[in-house]
Amino acid sequence: MTRPPRPVLVIGSLNMDLVATCDRLPAPGETVAGTGFAALPGGKGANQAVAAARLGARVFMAGCVGVDSFGAGLRAGLTAAGVDTTQLAEVPGPTGTALIAVDAAGANQIVVVPGANAATGPALIDRALAAIPGPGILLVQHEIPPASVAHALRAGRAAGWFVLLNPAPARPVPAGLLPAIDLIAPNETEAAALLGRPLRSAEDAAAGARALVAAGARAALITLGAAGAVYADADSLHMQPPVPVRPLDTTGAGDAFLGALASVLAAGGRIVQAMGYAAATAALSTTRPGAQASLPTRGDVEAFTSSTGIDRQPV
Side chain identity, residue 127? R
Task: Find out whether 83 and 53 touch, Cβ atoms under 8 Å.
Answer: yes
Map residue 185 onto helix, strand or coil.
coil
Active site residue 255: yes
**Which stretch of DSSP H or E encloses residue 59?**
strand 59-66
Side-chain-side CA neighbours of residue 98 (13 Å): 27
Catalytic residue among 182, 255, 300, 311: 255
Task: Find out whether 285 and 277 touch, Cβ atoms under 8 Å.
Answer: no
Within 10 angstroms of residue 132's Cβ, the number of other Cβ atoms is 21
Strand partners, 38: 19
How far is Cα 79 from Cα 86, in angstroms, rounded to an integer? 10
Catalytic residue positions, numbered: 255
